[in-house]
Amino acid sequence: MQIGKYLLSRFTSLVPPLVLPENPIKLLRMLNRRQTALFIVALLAWTFDAFDFFSVTLNITNIAETYGKTASDITWGITVTLMLRSVGAIIFGVAGDQFGRKWPFIVNVVFYAIVEICTGFCNTYEQFLGVRVLFGIAMGGVYGNCAATALEDAPMAVRGLLSGMLQQGYALGYLLAAAFNLAITPNQSHETETFTRVKAERVAKALENKKDSKVSSVRAFLSGIRPALAEHWATLIYLVLMMAGFNFLSHGSQDLYPTFLSSQLGFSPTYVTVTTVVANCGAILGGSVVGYFSNCFGRRLSILAVLIIGAALIPAYTLPRTKSIMAGAFFEQLCVQGAWGVVPIHLMELAPVNFRSFVVGTSYQLGNLISSASSTIEATVGEKFPLSTSSSSSTHKQYDYGKVIALFLGATYAYLLIIIFLGPEKRNMEQEKVTKIEVAENEIDVTKIEVTEKEIEVTKIEVTENGIQVTPISTKKVEAF
Question: What CATH number is given to the structural domain containing 20?
Answer: 1.20.1250.20
Q: Pick from 239, 221, 214: which is nearest to 364 by CA?
A: 239
Q: Residues 440, 368: one domain?
A: no
Q: What is the pTM of this model?
A: 0.70
pLDDT of residue 432: 47
Q: What is the rounded CA–CA span in Å between residue 77 and residue 130?
A: 9
Q: Is residue 156 part of a domain?
A: yes
Q: Residues 453, 402: one domain?
A: no
pLDDT of residue 55: 87
Question: What total number of domains does the chain contain?
Answer: 2
Task: Name the more confident of 435 and 20.
Answer: 20
Q: Is residue 193 part of a domain?
A: no
pLDDT of residue 183: 80
Average pLDDT along the chain: 82
Q: Residues 414, 443: one domain?
A: no
Other CB atoms within 10 A of residue 243 CB: 24
Mean pLDDT is highest, among 59-68, 156-165, 174-183, 198-207, for: 156-165
Give the model's confidence band at 203: pLDDT under 50 very low, under 70 low, under 90 confident, else very high: low
Q: Is residue 316 part of a domain?
A: yes
Q: Mean pLDDT, to the nearest integer, of 275-281?
A: 93
Q: Residues 439, 376: one domain?
A: no
Give the model's confidence band at 138: pLDDT under 50 very low, under 70 low, under 90 confident, else very high: very high
Q: Residues 392, 262: one domain?
A: yes
Q: What is the rounded CA–CA span in Å between residue 221 and residue 205?
A: 45
Q: Is residue 212 part of a domain?
A: no
CA distances from 415 to 147, 255, 412 (A): 25, 20, 5
Q: Residues 46, 152: one domain?
A: yes
Q: What is the rounded CA–CA span in Å between residue 240 and residue 247?
A: 10
Q: What is the rounded CA–CA span in Å between residue 119 and residue 193?
A: 22
Task: Name the more confident of 165 and 397.
Answer: 165
Structural element, H or E, at residue 471: strand 467-477
Whether the Cβ atoms of residue 64 and residue 186 lie closer than 8 Å to each other: no
In sequence order, the 6+-apart residues with CB closer than 8 A to the CB of 19 are: 296
Whether the Cβ atoms of residue 450 and residue 457 lie closer than 8 Å to each other: yes
Q: Is residue 9 part of a domain?
A: no
Q: Residues 230, 291: one domain?
A: yes
The phi, psi pair for 478, rounded to 5°, reads -125, 130
Q: Mean pLDDT, to the nearest integer, of 426-434?
A: 59
Q: Mean pLDDT, to the nearest integer, of 301-320?
A: 96
In sequence order, the 6+-apart residues with CB closer than 8 A to the CB of 118 are: 131, 134
Pairing of strands 444-451, 432-439: antiparallel
HEC readout, 207-245 = HHCCCCCCHHHHHHHHHHHHHHHHHHHHHHHHHHHHHHH
- Single-letter amino acid code for the residue at 463: V
Q: Pick from 454, 160, 462: which is nearest to 299 by CA?
A: 160
Q: Mean pLDDT, to the nearest integer, of 113-133?
A: 90
Among the ranges given (8-17, 169-178, 330-339), the one the predictor scored with the smallest mean pLDDT: 8-17
- Cα-based angle 204, 207, 211 (whole degrees, multiple of 5): 150
Q: Residues 113, 157: one domain?
A: yes
Q: Is residue 238 part of a domain?
A: yes
Q: Residues 380, 249: one domain?
A: yes
Q: What is the rounded CA–CA span in Å between residue 470 and residue 415?
A: 51
Question: Residue 158 pairs with which residues in a beta bridge?
Answer: none
Q: What is the rounded CA–CA span in Å between residue 226 and residue 53?
A: 34
pLDDT over 60 (residue 476): no
Q: Residues 340, 461: one domain?
A: no
Question: Residue 469 pairs with which residues in a beta bridge?
Answer: 462
Give the model's confidence band at 209: pLDDT under 50 very low, under 70 low, under 90 confident, else very high: low
Q: Mean pLDDT, to the nearest integer, of 377-390?
A: 80
Q: Residues 467, 409: one domain?
A: no
The residue range of the domain holding 456 is 432-477
Among the ranges given (75-89, 186-200, 341-355), the one the predictor scored with the smallest mean pLDDT: 186-200
